[in-house]
Chain A
Amino acid sequence: MRILQVLAIAALAAAGAARAGTIDVRIVDGHGAPVADAVVVAVPAAGLPPLPARPRVEIVDQVDKEFVPRVKPILRGSLVQFPNKDNIRHQVYSFSPAKNFELPLYAGTPASPVTFDKPGVVTLGCNIHDWMVGYIYVAESPYFAKTGADGKATIANVPDGAYTVRAWHPQMSADESQTARRLTVGGDGRAAADWSLALKPEIRIPRAPDADTGGPY
């Protein structure tokens, strides 16, 4: 937590150099319902800012045999810790081209975090709990946000300028690049972007019954 606070302060300090605005995002599905857990990335037309000197450390917990949060956008080069809050072991893996890794069975917090230095979507799985699916979105730009349950997100501290924004969701049927659009942040410092995304059903394996509860499934 302390690290986060330190990072936040550092970011604010960095942004202070220029005028900053925000990009308000709202995403609905094909039926007009708000879409949560969508990631929005804004890429400055002027070029990407340099990566922070010290990579950020992000956390993806495993709680009750689920990845928490389910979708985790991070900046390229960040480190991610996978602490295990369950009283059983997990074996977290990814076959994604953006990051192929495997954390052998472990309990508690593994000794070293995993570095995600290649942008792209990394799909997380647990080899012993097939239904566990998580996503780490490795963004090349530091300007990104994740929609809440209301389908809204705000990318804050965006310096004025032109941007290419795009949206991603694990179930979206279209290619991510097709969502890209240009917008400009300036003037009042606020910009907005709305997407309507066609979603596919999520293909998930049903949860196995809990061993401790002894339920029917």
Chain B
Amino acid sequence: MTERSAWSSLRAGSLGTRILVFFSALLASILGVSLAVVDTINARGAHAQIKQELAVGEKVFRRLVDQRNRQLAQAAEILTRDYAFRNAVAMRNLDAGTVASLLGNHGSRIGASVAELVSPERRLIADNRGVARVGEPFPFGWLLDQAEVDGRAAGIVVQDGRAYQMVAVPVLAPTPVAWAVFGIVVDDATARELQSLSGLDVSLMAHAPGGAWTMVASTLDPALRAQVGSALAAPHALDPQNADMMLGDAQYETLVVSLEDNGATPVVAVLQRSLDEALAPFRRLHAILIVLLLVGLGLAVAGSVVIVRGVTRPVRALGAMTQRIEEGDYSVPVAVEGADELRELARRFDLMREGIAARQAEILRLAYRDSLTGLPNRTRFRQWLDEALAAARSGGGSVSLLTMNLQRFRHVNETLGHAVGDDVLRRVSRRLAEVVRVEDAAARLGGDEFGVRLDGADPETAARVAERIVQAFEAPIALGPQPLDMRLAVGVATFPQHAEDTEGLLRCADAAMHAAKEAKLDVMVYDASLRERREQSLSLLSELKRAMETGELRLAYQPKVAVRGGAPVGAEALIRWVHPERGRIAPDQFIPFAEQTGFIRTVTPWVIRAAVAQCARWRDGGLQVPVSVNISAQDLLAPGLVEVVTGALSRHELPAALLCLEITETGVMADPPRAVELLAGLHAVGVRLSMDDFGTGYSSLAYIKQLRLNELKIDRSFVGNIVDDSKDRAIVLSAVELAHNLGLSVVAEGVESQAVLEVLRSLGCDAAQGYLFSPALEAEPFADWLRAQQVPAAASA
């Protein structure tokens, strides 16, 4: 999967996007909340810590101040306990200058810049800074008040703009006789010392009598110092709760510690901690957390993408597979890498794909294969043709189609049974496949009809292949003890010469095949005239139906005459069609067609009824003449012929012997056992039976013996040349002798000359028929002709 498609799996609404958004949002919220919580805790912690620092700082600060006070007091007491000093002070036996010098000396030892002696009346006795003040009241009486109570006192005082940490101790002799006062300057250095111990910014502020705060000492940046005073001047600035102070841009947590509140000049220590400084570590932590958040978010996004790819890629692969299946492509197996569940799912999909493919193949096989022969069926064959035609259209080639069916297969099926018929079909298909060789070129189109597709074959080539197929079927099919001789009729049609599409091609090939059958040819290549004829035939069929109803169909009668004596012995009923537009239509123009279409089964009963009715009319008119009717092969196979005959006879109360049915040799041979049975039934009714066209078929004499015939009619093809052709004479003689020996009478057809008649008489023929005597005549003219003969009709034999 390319990078692009990896990201494309993160479309809005997709699983990937949802996972990514969910986890990123989750992580971001968790981290965001954590950050907020940590910040809050840190801020609180920082404030608490600062307050703690300030509280500790205050304690440290106070302790330091106390400690310094105590140290200072102790140092002062070293002097005031000195016996000589006490003595001198008590006795006042030293001058002020000496005392001041002594005090100054001791003060410098202990780091005090102020050293004074104060009388119990609180006037300055001596001052190391000079004699100017001597005699003046000591300005910090409150310090002495405290010292009188506590024995010593300390405090911060402001004098001449400078701050001093001042201590007062009594000079005891042993009761106080004076106060020794020492002061250490409090300045920025002091503040810095305090800062180094407490970690806080320290500012000492004095409240001047005028009301303004002045800064005595500070660790703050000089630029900020002025702001402290004004901040303290604000209302409630000294409230303990008011802990914030803005100096410059920075916020300071502040604690104001009162150092001195007993004089005219209160002094406070302002302890401060910069929030910025205090929060700096937390700010670094905050920055680190943000970096962690971003890194975590990045990792989450990357991880989600990886997981999403791991899920969506297999899912998409499965989706692609199902699409291929939808499009009918079952060939590509799906290969999925990823989680076990997905691999298992993919394996199941694959099994499903194979199952569907197998079942579809089976369905297709059933849909497209003929189960009996294993050949493709008509549906499949048409598909092939479609494909082949499409290819030929684009490639400019040609496609030929052979359709063929088996001659007399119905006969096999009906006489030998369907099992044998199926066996024959299987053998035929096998043989066909052997000849065609090209796989899947042959198909069974239905019944006994087969088709062969020949890609790239022109009509000539196709015809040669058809010939080869026909030759292959010259050898009989070995089926049990009795080999079967199966013959094929093959029709050939070629794209693009004969038709433009599959349907047309099939129709053309069919037409050619039927034409071949009619013409008793093995192979016929389609040509346009076939189509015309076929179209004509189709219109003929509807017209023929009409003709039967409107009386356009009529019967004509040709007399049979006894060879010896010339008496009429019968009449053959022949069908005539007088078309209102086309005039007379010859029987051979519509009878074969009627046979082909099966319409003959309607025509023949009509002929029988009409002939019987006419015969009855003649009889009623005093003319007794037997009538012959031609029966086709199909009539023999159709049921109900006996009923038609008996029905017609009984209706007109005509003796059965006046009706003769003429059956062709081929009609009998189409289904000999059935013909034998049927003729036996007719014979039982009493109808006379005649074998028509004797000699043209392949009649088995054994059948003739069984057929209960009364008459043989010798085909006109043997009669015409009988005067000159000795062979024909020999055939006719043999036939006459055979017939006579079997007890049959013999009728010769097509007698057109007296000479022929003479020969027939010499050969012993019983009756004759032909133009020599009369053409076929309508009923009335025939009756006239009959009366003219004045010869009573009689059976010749």
A residues neighboring B (CB under 8 Å): 95-96, 100, 123-127, 130-133, 170, 200-201, 203-205
For B149, the chain A residues whose CB sits under 8 A away are 201
Q: How far is the CA of A205 from the CA of B149 in the complex (A)?
A: 12
**Chain A residue with minimal CB distance to B152?**
A203
A130, B177: Cβ atoms under 8 Å? Answer: no
Contact flag A203-B173 (CB < 8 Å), given A95-B86, A95-B91, A100-B91: no
Quote the shortest CB–CB distance from B146 to chain A (angstroms): 11
Quote the shortest CB–CB distance from A98 to chain B (angstroms): 12
Q: How far is the CA of A217 from the CA of B543 in the complex (A)?
A: 160
Interface residues of B in 145-168 (CB under 8 A from A): 148-149, 151
> Could you list 30 examples of A-B contacts with CB < 8 Å?
A95-B86, A95-B87, A95-B90, A95-B177, A96-B90, A100-B91, A123-B173, A123-B174, A123-B175, A125-B172, A126-B174, A130-B81, A130-B174, A131-B174, A132-B174, A133-B174, A133-B175, A170-B175, A200-B148, A201-B149, A203-B148, A203-B170, A203-B172, A203-B175, A203-B176, A204-B151, A204-B174, A205-B151, A205-B172, A205-B174
For B87, the chain A residues whose CB sits under 8 A away are 95
User: Per-residue 0/1 for B69-111: is the Cβ within 8 Å of any A Cβ (1 yes, 0 no)?
Assistant: 0000000000001010011001100000000000000000000
For B174, the chain A residues whose CB sits under 8 A away are 123-126, 130-133, 204-205
For A204, the chain B residues whose CB sits under 8 A away are 151, 174
For A100, the chain B residues whose CB sits under 8 A away are 91
Quote the shortest CB–CB distance from B81 to chain A (angstroms): 7
Contact flag A130-B172 (CB < 8 Å), given A200-B148, A203-B148, A205-B151: yes
For B91, the chain A residues whose CB sits under 8 A away are 95, 100
Q: Ordered nearest first, which 10 A-B pairs have the shortest CB separation?
A: A95-B90, A125-B174, A95-B173, A133-B174, A203-B176, A123-B175, A201-B149, A203-B170, A127-B83, A95-B91
Q: Which of A127, A170, A203 has the most CB of B within 10 A?
A: A203
Quote the shortest CB–CB distance from B93 to chain A (angstroms): 10
Interface size on B, residues (CB 8 A): 16
User: Per-residue 0/1 for B115-137: is the Cβ within 8 Å of any A Cβ (1 yes, 0 no)?
Assistant: 00000000000000000000000
Quote the shortest CB–CB distance from B179 to chain A (angstroms): 10
B151, A203: Cβ atoms under 8 Å? Answer: yes
Q: How far is the CA of A201 from the CA of B151 in the complex (A)?
A: 9
14 more A-B contacts (CB under 8 A) besides A125-B173, A131-B174? A95-B87, A95-B90, A95-B177, A96-B90, A100-B91, A126-B174, A133-B174, A170-B175, A201-B148, A203-B151, A203-B170, A203-B176, A204-B174, A205-B172
User: Per-residue 0/1 for B167-192: is the Cβ within 8 Å of any A Cβ (1 yes, 0 no)?
Assistant: 00010111111000000000000000
Q: How far is the CA of A204 from the CA of B170 in the complex (A)?
A: 10
Quote the shortest CB–CB distance from A216 to chain B (angstroms): 18
Q: How far is the CA of A133 from the CA of B170 in the complex (A)?
A: 15
Q: How far is the CA of A100 from the CA of B88 in the complex (A)?
A: 12
Interface residues of B in 47-81 (CB under 8 A from A): 81
For A96, the chain B residues whose CB sits under 8 A away are 90
B residues neighboring A (CB under 8 Å): 81, 83, 86-87, 90-91, 148-149, 151, 170, 172-177
Q: How far is the CA of A95 from the CA of B93 in the complex (A)?
A: 11
Quote the shortest CB–CB distance from B189 to chain A (angstroms): 34
Q: How far is the CA of A124 from the CA of B177 in the complex (A)?
A: 13
For A131, the chain B residues whose CB sits under 8 A away are 174
Q: How far is the CA of A131 from the CA of B90 in the complex (A)?
A: 17
Q: How far is the CA of A124 from the CA of B172 in the complex (A)?
A: 11
**Chain B residue with minimal CB distance to A127?**
B83
For A123, the chain B residues whose CB sits under 8 A away are 173-175
Quote the shortest CB–CB distance from A102 to chain B (angstroms): 9
**Chain A residue with minimal CB distance to B177?**
A95
Quote the shortest CB–CB distance from B144 to chain A (angstroms): 11
Quote the shortest CB–CB distance from A112 to chain B (angstroms): 22
Q: How far is the CA of A132 from the CA of B148 in the complex (A)?
A: 18
For A95, the chain B residues whose CB sits under 8 A away are 86-87, 90-91, 173, 177
**Chain B residue with minimal CB distance to A131?**
B174
For A205, the chain B residues whose CB sits under 8 A away are 151, 172, 174
**Chain A residue with minimal CB distance to B77?**
A205
Quote the shortest CB–CB distance from B471 to chain A (angstroms): 149
Q: How far is the CA of A20 from the CA of B671 in the complex (A)?
A: 200
Q: How far is the CA of A126 from the CA of B81 in the complex (A)?
A: 12
Quote the shortest CB–CB distance from A39 to chain B (angstroms): 15
Quote the shortest CB–CB distance from B86 to chain A (angstroms): 7
**Chain B residue with minimal CB distance to A129?**
B174
For A203, the chain B residues whose CB sits under 8 A away are 148, 151, 170, 172, 175-176
**Chain B residue with minimal CB distance to A91?**
B83
Quote the shortest CB–CB distance from A203 to chain B (angstroms): 5
Q: How far is the CA of A118 from the CA of B86 in the complex (A)?
A: 22
Q: How far is the CA of A133 from the CA of B86 in the complex (A)?
A: 14
Q: How far is the CA of A125 from the CA of B83 in the complex (A)?
A: 11
For B90, the chain A residues whose CB sits under 8 A away are 95-96
Q: How far is the CA of A204 from the CA of B83 in the complex (A)?
A: 16
Q: How far is the CA of A99 from the CA of B644 in the complex (A)?
A: 194
Q: How far is the CA of A84 from the CA of B176 in the complex (A)?
A: 25
**Chain A residue with minimal CB distance to B90?**
A95
Q: How far is the CA of A44 from the CA of B296 in the complex (A)?
A: 107
Quote the shortest CB–CB distance from B735 to chain A (angstroms): 177
For A130, the chain B residues whose CB sits under 8 A away are 81, 172, 174
Q: How far is the CA of A201 from the CA of B87 in the complex (A)?
A: 23
Q: How far is the CA of A133 from the CA of B87 in the complex (A)?
A: 15
Q: How far is the CA of A130 from the CA of B173 in the complex (A)?
A: 9
**Chain B residue with minimal CB distance to A123?**
B175
For A127, the chain B residues whose CB sits under 8 A away are 83
Q: How far is the CA of A130 from the CA of B175 in the complex (A)?
A: 10
Q: How far is the CA of A126 from the CA of B151 in the complex (A)?
A: 18
Quote the shortest CB–CB distance from A152 to chain B (angstroms): 25
Q: How far is the CA of A192 from the CA of B86 in the complex (A)?
A: 40
For A132, the chain B residues whose CB sits under 8 A away are 174
Q: How far is the CA of A200 from the CA of B147 in the complex (A)?
A: 12
For B173, the chain A residues whose CB sits under 8 A away are 95, 123, 125
For B175, the chain A residues whose CB sits under 8 A away are 123, 133, 170, 203
Q: How far is the CA of A124 from the CA of B173 in the complex (A)?
A: 8
Q: Which of B86, B170, B174, B176 has the most CB of A within 10 A?
A: B174
Q: How far is the CA of A126 from the CA of B172 in the complex (A)?
A: 11
**Chain A residue with minimal CB distance to B86?**
A95
For B81, the chain A residues whose CB sits under 8 A away are 130
Q: How far is the CA of A212 from the CA of B85 in the complex (A)?
A: 30
Q: Which of A96, A124, A132, A170 has the most CB of B within 10 A?
A: A96
For B176, the chain A residues whose CB sits under 8 A away are 203
Quote the shortest CB–CB distance from A124 to chain B (angstroms): 8
**Chain A residue with minimal CB distance to B175?**
A123
**Chain B residue with minimal CB distance to A94?**
B173
For B170, the chain A residues whose CB sits under 8 A away are 203
Q: Which of A125, A131, A200 has the most CB of B within 10 A?
A: A125
Q: How far is the CA of A200 from the CA of B87 in the complex (A)?
A: 23
Q: How far is the CA of A132 from the CA of B177 in the complex (A)?
A: 15
Quote the shortest CB–CB distance from B31 to chain A (angstroms): 62
Q: How far is the CA of A180 from the CA of B87 in the complex (A)?
A: 31
Quote the shortest CB–CB distance from A121 to chain B (angstroms): 9
Q: How far is the CA of A198 from the CA of B177 in the complex (A)?
A: 19
**Chain B residue with minimal CB distance to A100?**
B91
Q: How far is the CA of A124 from the CA of B175 in the complex (A)?
A: 9
Q: How far is the CA of A88 from the CA of B155 in the complex (A)?
A: 39
Quote the shortest CB–CB distance from A130 to chain B (angstroms): 6
Quote the shortest CB–CB distance from B142 to chain A (angstroms): 15
Quote the shortest CB–CB distance from A199 to chain B (angstroms): 11
Q: How far is the CA of A204 from the CA of B149 in the complex (A)?
A: 10
Quote the shortest CB–CB distance from B3 to chain A (angstroms): 86
Quote the shortest CB–CB distance from A60 to chain B (angstroms): 14
Quote the shortest CB–CB distance from B615 to chain A (angstroms): 176
Quote the shortest CB–CB distance from B30 to chain A (angstroms): 62
Quote the shortest CB–CB distance from A105 to chain B (angstroms): 13
Quote the shortest CB–CB distance from B675 to chain A (angstroms): 161
For B151, the chain A residues whose CB sits under 8 A away are 203-205
**Chain A residue with minimal CB distance to B170?**
A203
Quote the shortest CB–CB distance from B572 to chain A (angstroms): 175
